[in-house]
Each structure stands twice: as structure tokens, then as C-alpha cells.
Structure 1
Amino acid sequence: MTAEDLQPYQRIVQDVKDQVRLGRLSSNDKLPSTRELAGHYGVAPGTVQRALTDLRAEGIVYSHQGRGSFIRESALDAVADPTSQAIKRLEEKVADLADRLEQLEASHDRNN
């Protein structure tokens, strides 16, 4: 599916996800106001609100009444592609195994 196939609110959702994935937006960063986003994307404020609703539902942003919308700390995990998520899990398992091996070697050294 190309960007042209997406609804305007879906393009905003995808753009925010891409910005998180690329590190341009990180946890607790404040998004521009609805009016600013509407102007940037050339859409109605209601379209931006729909995009923000989807982003909240996906766990990418959180909103505070009167303060705005912000990127969640867990947003990067929410937008990571399955391959990146699998690699991260493997890295965690390798680190755990390395710790266990180190403990076994230390125990073996103490017993010899």
C-alpha cells in the first residue's frame, strides 16, 4: 500500500510512527498542536484528532487536556517492525546467557 492509498489521517499516523522509528521523536516529546498539525498536513483539525485517537489506541501517544499530546516512553516498541522486535528479544536472551555463563565460570573458578 502506497502513501497515496492511505486516508489523510492514516498518513499522519504513519508519519508520526516513522518519526519515532527514525528517532526524530522520542519519549515525552510534545507534538505540535492540532491546529499546527492540520496546517502542516493540509487537513482539517478533525482529521488530526482522528489520527491522534488512533495513535493513542496504538500506545504511541498520550494526551493531557489543555497541555497537548506527547510521545509515550514505550512508543518505539509499539512502532518497531517484527524483525527489530525479534532482534531485540534475541539480544536480551544472549545478554542473559552471557551473565549465566559468567556466573558459572566464577563458581567453577572458586571451586578449583
Structure 2
Amino acid sequence: MTDEAMQPFERIAQDVREQVRLGQLKPSDKLPSTRELASKYAVAPGTVQRAFAELRRDGVIYSHKGRGSFIRENALEALADPTTQAIRRLEEQVANLTTRLERVEQNQSSGSAQP
């Protein structure tokens, strides 16, 4: 989608996502206020709130009433494509199964040594 075809809230959300991908925004970083972003993008505060709602839904940010909005610890993972996310989950499962198998084998070898 070109920038011209994007709704303003989509452009704001896309800019935040890109800043996270590039490392310009890091986990726990505080985002500018709704008012500041509304001024920067020349939009109504409600437009920024809509962008924040999308980013919260996607797991990129979290908000605390009265404190602001912040980048989530796992924001980069939330931005990964679904295939990459599935591969990461499978890698974690394989690592967990490997650990469990090693424990079983260790228990069997120590159990067979007993009379």
C-alpha cells in the first residue's frame, strides 16, 4: 500500500513499527504523547489514538493511563511475519523436547546402574 493510499492512523502505526524494526525505538521506550504525535502528523488526537489501538492489538505497544504508551519487550517478535513466528515456536518446542529427552535418558542410565 502506498503512503497516499494509507489512512493517517495506518501511516502513524507503520512509522512506529518501522522505528522498532530499525532499533530507533527499543523495548520500554516511551512514545511521544498523543498530542505531540497529532501535531507532528497534523492529525486529530483521535487519529493517533486509533494508531495506538492498532499497535496495542498487534502487541507492539502497551499503554498506562496517565503515564503514556511504551514499546513492548517482545515488539520485534510481534512484528515478525507469521511464518517466522511459527518457526520460532517450533524451535522452542524442539528445544523443550530435547531437554526432556536428555532428562529421561539420564534417568534411565542412572536407573540401570542400580542393582
TM-score, normalization: structure 2?
0.74
Q: What's the offset of the Cα at 1:87?
A: 1.4
Unmatched tracts of structure 1, length 5 or more: none
**Residue 84 to residue 22, structure 1, CA distance change in 2 (3 Å):** farther
Aligned residues: 111
Match for residue 43 of structure 1? 42
Q: Note the aligned Cα RMSD (angstroms).
A: 2.4
Q: What's the offset of the Cα at 1:72?
A: 2.8
Q: What's the offset of the Cα at 1:18?
A: 2.8
Q: What's the offset of the Cα at 1:99?
A: 0.6
Moved more, 9-18 or 21-30: 21-30
SS of equivalent to 1:59? coil
Match for residue 75 of structure 1? 75
Counterpart check, 1:100 vs 2:100: yes
**Residue 60 to residue 96, structure 1, CA distance change in 2 (3 Å):** same
Unmatched tracts of structure 2, length 5 or more: none
Query: Is the CA contact (8 Å cut-off) linking 1:8 and 1:43 kept in structure 2?
Result: no
Query: Is the CA contact (8 Å cut-off) linking 2:31 and 2:71 kept in structure 1?
Result: yes
**Residue 90 to residue 57, structure 1, CA distance change in 2 (3 Å):** closer
Query: Is the CA contact (8 Å cut-off) linking 1:28 and 1:72 kept in structure 2?
Result: yes
User: Deviation digits for residues 73-103 of structure 1, max 9, x if unmatched?
Assistant: 3433432210220111111012012212312
CA distance in 2, matches of 1:53, 1:43: 19
% identical equivalent positions? 59
Query: Is the CA contact (8 Å cut-off) linking 2:8 and 2:43 kept in structure 1?
Result: no
Q: What's the offset of the Cα at 1:28?
A: 2.2
SS of equivalent to 2:62? strand
Match for residue 25 of structure 1? 25
Larger radius of gyration: 2
Q: What's the offset of the Cα at 1:21?
A: 3.7
